[in-house]
Copies of this chain bind each other. A is one copy, B any other.
């Protein structure tokens, strides 16, 4: 049963999605019309609500984490679901893990780690830009994940506070300059993932990685293609995302 304070996703038949937080006795203005939020209270997820000038039907859903990050205020440099999910799996993230995420940006990847490590784990988020730090803090609070995260407003060139972390994600403009710091923070056998949007960065990062005791170095890219869900005329959509980033993975060993 939906109650005050819940986040709900209103899903229209044309695929439009609106996320709102339920407040009793209030109306919420959206670009598709005004929602009387009292009508939501007491309904079940999967139920419908009608609003807007054309009395359109919307399904009431619980927003997924993907819904939440695509709904964020700021979406520049957002990490795509295709990449975020693969990173979680390759870095072997599980409940209880201790993970460093840097730079935090708007916090989407930080939150993705935080959801999985849970209350027994911890995500250490490093961000040097105050505007991003504040945005990420606000987003993580809104998503209800801030308790699993320790956000730090500072540069990483002097190294990280933590040692023996299970995994680390490096998403900064010059990743090749922080390979040593990452090595220091990871536990033996710990996993690192690095975001490299250009081939030049991949080359620079690889060169640096080979100077330190890292093994099992892999470089991947991920092309997701979506199909029009029409059983009579099944075919891909006309256009697709061609590139987000290359993903570099490596495993720390004690010496080489």
Contact = CB atoms under 8 A, between A and B. Distances in A.
A254 B44 contact: yes
A242 B243 contact: no
The A interface, classified by DSSP as helix, strand, loop or mixed, is mixed
Interface string A23-56: 0000000000000000000001111100000000
A189 B232 contact: no
A93 B252 CA distance: 28
A251 B63 CA distance: 11
A255 B64 CA distance: 20
A202 B227 contact: yes
A158 interface: no
Interface residues of A, number: 82
Contact of A227 (B59, B207, B215, B246): B246
A220 B82 CA distance: 11
A145 B152 CA distance: 34
Nearest to A64: B92
Given A216-B11, A224-B220, A254 B46 contact: yes
A233 interface: yes
Nearest to A119: B95
B219 A242 contact: no
Interface stretch (A98-106, A123-131, A134-142, A192-200): A192-200
Interface in A195-245: 197-200, 202-204, 206-207, 210, 213, 215-243
Interface of A: 11, 13, 15, 44-48, 59-62, 64-66, 81-82, 84-86, 88-90, 92, 94-95, 112, 115-116, 118, 187-191, 197-200, 202-204, 206-207, 210, 213, 215-243, 246, 248, 251-255
26 contacts: A46-B187, A46-B254, A47-B253, A48-B254, A59-B251, A60-B189, A61-B253, A62-B189, A81-B86, A81-B90, A82-B222, A86-B86, A94-B116, A197-B235, A198-B235, A199-B234, A200-B234, A204-B231, A206-B234, A207-B231, A219-B226, A219-B229, A219-B234, A227-B246, A236-B242, A236-B243
